[in-house]
Structure 1
Amino acid sequence: MTLIVHLLACAFGLGSWLAVNGLWVELPLIVNTLPEGWDLPSYLTVLIQLANLGPLLVTLMHKLCPGLLKETAVIYAVLTVGVLACVLLASFWQVTTVVAGAPHSTAFFILTFFISLVDCTSSVTFLPFMARLPAEYVTTYFIGEGLSGFVPGLLALAQGVGVATCVNTTQDPTGGGESWTIQTQYLPPNFSPEIFFYFLAVMMCVSLAAFCALKRLPRTFFELANVALVPDPGAPSASTGLDNPGLETNGGPLQQREADGTNPTEPSAGESNLSMYRLGFIYFLVVWVNTATNGLLPSVQTYSCMPYGNLAYHLSASLASVANPVACVFAMFFPNRSLLFLGALGVLGTAFGSYNMAMAALSPCPLLQNSAVGVALIVLSWVFFTGTLTYVKVMAGVILRDRSHSALVWCGAAAQTGSLVGSVTMFPLVNTYRLFKSADYCNTKCPL
């Protein structure tokens, strides 16, 4: 039964960011078809953050009208919308209309907004629902959330997304003689984007089915989880559980652990003794990690990788999505709650992100452009950037899960706030001020 619940939690987490991650790994193919070209990622980041309307409303409802909004109803709704949006995306992703005198991917943008609405809202509904289960299933949920990037990444590798080659072509526009030019030719994928989007719809159905099964678990699973949770602020209790949870009485953790024969002076994994400063630091980590991973860096991934070739872009997008679930699994078997360690890991991940941002700023002529070392560095930098910050995000979620239900709700709100700040910062830099310049890998000439 325990194994089945772990599988269901993992499958449920799969639907959290599956559709948005699927769009990102498909970008090497889509970016060459839709009229926005290399600017498409920056448009996506803004659309994703506009979808924060969903989690904002959910968070406000939790704060202003506690108990009125049913999380399960919201989860049913967002997963159903996710399935429908993926199906419609398969049919209409190439439809364009003229806006302000230029063609734009209106259908793609509209459906991306609804997909993003689903995934953003999952941040403040999926995790609080999982908090009803024992803590080990929360980590399994994070593995599923990581797989929401890994599974589309594997599919993109099988698809052969965005593989290109440089070919010599002849031109004779005046009939006076032939001239040779080098052009970038994209090889056809092994299967179409339509099939890719239908696959995403199937995976969303799997997540919906897993949630339905989790809802029907015996009550004992949910009752076991509630023993370890610190009550939400305002709930009747002999103590707030913030500064000295070991002194709780009336059937609280102290009495429970005395009955179990454990030392009541040592905090258990299920209790929270976080000071306000430490709690603030954890939320700061959540905000910053999501600012970097969901806002700042995704907007410029094309500019940092494409000058090294389509293979570098393809590998960085796909392997970075693999690093996400690997980091979640690592957090499951090697958890480290030390805030000093998590802060140091956050600094390390920021260093990798800074390298990626620097290479984007140097486009179309980044460092070591014509070297295999340069390709390896940019791919590895994206992998370690994603992996290190994902570990920090998972451990922050685990720590806050042990604090209270509302702490996880605010964790999701902090994550979306960081994502919003990052994307709003990058959009004008990419699309208005044009600080990042695109390159044609086959024709751009850079000094050695």
Structure 2
Amino acid sequence: MVLVVHVLACLLGTGSWVAINGVWVELPLLVPRVPEGWYLPSYLTVLIQFANVGPLFVTLLHHVRPGRLSEAGTIYTIVSVGALACLLLAFFWQETSWVAGAPRSTALLILLFFLSLVDCTSSVTFLPFLRRFRARYLTTYFVGEGLSGLLPGLLALAQGVGVARCVNGSLAGNASGAEGTGLRAEYQPARFSARLFFIFLSGMMGLCLAAFVLLNRLPAARQEQAKERFRAQARVEAGSGLQAVVEDRPMISPAESHQLWGRFGTGTYSWPQAASVFLLLAWVNALTNGVLPAVQSYSCLPYGNAAYHLAATLAAMANPLACFVGMFLPNRCLLTLGLLSAAGSGFGCYIMAIAALSPCPPLLHSHTGVALIVS
């Protein structure tokens, strides 16, 4: 029965970011069919950043009006909204309307905002819920969160999204009735449609909802919850003292609240060291969740649609790999964190340089250029 709880925690983690990760790997199939074209990745990045109002609202409400927001009710709501939005995407993602004198994918953009809102808010609702269980289930949750990128990526590879070939424009014009000379891109049909892909994402969100219901009601899951650690009211550290915050179900015990600010797994950190950890987190997240995805079409597309597709898909697969590595090497010293961040910053500088030089970056017509940008 403990294994069952691990599976349920993994499914809950899978539903945390599966929707947006799925949209990212499906972009090569979407962009040729929407008016926004290759601006769509940039629009999606902006929508994700705007969607951070969700976790901000939840955090402020817990602080200002403690107990007003039900933890279970919030999770039920956001997961249900995510499943419904994915289902609506399957049928309306190609619908357009005229805005400011130009066609816009209004349905797609609105639904993408709701998916972003769901996934961003999951970060401040799923983790506090998982803290009711023993610590070992938190690692399983992060493995599931990694699978939220792996599963859509594998499905996109099987789908064959965005595969294109160059054909003679004059010959293609004779066949289709259009005029044109020279080489032109001709996209190959995918093995199955974007509609089925979005229905799959909706099903994954449905599994996440079912997993949450069972984690709340299954007797084995109830037994695994460390209830004695959450009966006292939660306390959040504010300034030099502790300010009590009453929750409908306390998320963090007073002892844990003190440890979270002073300890990070391997030992006690000073406040300057703790501040450096948070600064590294902010910098790395800004690169991986904001800057680099926004320019991905510019950095990868010059090397071909296949390069863009591989970069987007393999990047999603890197997340679960990092989670599995973290299971065996959970302790990180500050020097290791700094070296990893410096290496990632170097890779990010190369990607940004390629994007700035787009559409004519170095090594444009060589396999070396493709291998570098994908790596």
> TM over 0.5, yes or no?
yes
1:184 corresponds in structure 2 to 185
Q: Is the 8 A contact 1:18 1:200 kept in 2?
A: yes
RMSD: 2.6
SS at the partner of 1:342? helix
Q: Is the 8 A contact 1:82 1:118 kept in 2?
A: yes
Amino acid in structure 2 at the alignment position of 1:101: G
CA distance in 1, matches of 2:106, 2:180: 39
Q: Under a length normalisation based on structure 2, what TM-score does the superposition of the two structures give? A: 0.87
Distance 1:244 1:36, change over 3 A: closer
2:47 corresponds in structure 1 to 47
Q: Under a length normalisation based on structure 1, what TM-score does the superposition of the two structures give? A: 0.74
CA distance in 2, matches of 1:182, 1:192: 26
Distance 1:238 1:100, change over 3 A: closer
Aligned-pair distance for 1:72? Answer: 1.4
1:24 corresponds in structure 2 to 24
1:82 corresponds in structure 2 to 82
Aligned-pair distance for 1:244? Answer: 11
Distance 1:224 1:350, change over 3 A: farther
1:408 corresponds in structure 2 to none
Residues 119-198 of structure 1 aligned to structure 2 (within 5 Å): 119-170=119-170, 180-198=181-199
Q: Describe the superposition over 1:363-394 as per-residue Cα deviations: whole angstroms up to 9, x where unpaired.
A: 111121111111111111xxxxxxxxxxxxxx
> Which segment is superposed worse, 201-210 or 338-347?
338-347
Residues 184-263 of structure 1 aligned to structure 2 (within 5 Å): 184-216=185-217, 217-223=221-227, 232-233=236-237, 234=242, 241=258
Where in structure 2 are there 5+ consecutive unaligned residues? 245-252
Aligned-pair distance for 1:180? Answer: 4.1
Amino acid in structure 1 at the alignment position of 2:226: F
Distance 1:334 1:95, change over 3 A: same
Q: Is the 8 A contact 2:52 2:117 kept in 1?
A: yes
Amino acid in structure 2 at the alignment position of 1:12: L
Where in structure 1 are there 5+ consecutive unaligned residues? 246-266, 381-448
Aligned-pair distance for 1:224? Answer: 7.1
1:364 corresponds in structure 2 to 359
SS at the partner of 1:134? coil
Aligned-pair distance for 1:275? Answer: 2.5
Aligned-pair distance for 1:170? Answer: 1.6
Aligned-pair distance for 1:65? Answer: 2.3
Amino acid in structure 1 at the alignment position of 2:354: M
Q: Is the 8 A contact 2:133 2:224 kept in 1?
A: no
Distance 1:135 1:226, change over 3 A: farther
Q: Matched residue pairs, number?
A: 352
Q: Is the 8 A contact 1:10 1:145 kept in 2?
A: yes
Distance 1:128 1:239, change over 3 A: closer
CA distance in 1, matches of 2:300, 2:28: 11
CA distance in 1, matches of 2:299, 2:135: 38
CA distance in 1, matches of 2:236, 2:127: 15
Amino acid in structure 2 at the alignment position of 1:200: L
> Which segment is superposed worse, 164-173 or 365-374?
164-173
CA distance in 2, matches of 1:157, 1:23: 13
Aligned-pair distance for 1:339? Answer: 2.0
Q: Describe the superposition over 1:4-36 as per-residue Cα deviations: whole angstroms up to 9, x where unpaired.
A: 222111110011111111111000111111011
Aligned-pair distance for 1:222? Answer: 2.3
CA distance in 1, matches of 2:132, 2:327: 18
Q: Is the 8 A contact 1:243 1:275 kept in 2?
A: no
Query: Which residue, 285, 288, 293 being the options, matches 1:290?
Result: 285
Q: Is the 8 A contact 2:134 2:224 kept in 1?
A: no
SS at the partner of 1:349? helix
Identity %: 56
2:103 corresponds in structure 1 to 103
Aligned-pair distance for 1:3? Answer: 1.9
1:421 corresponds in structure 2 to none
CA distance in 2, matches of 1:341, 1:376: 27
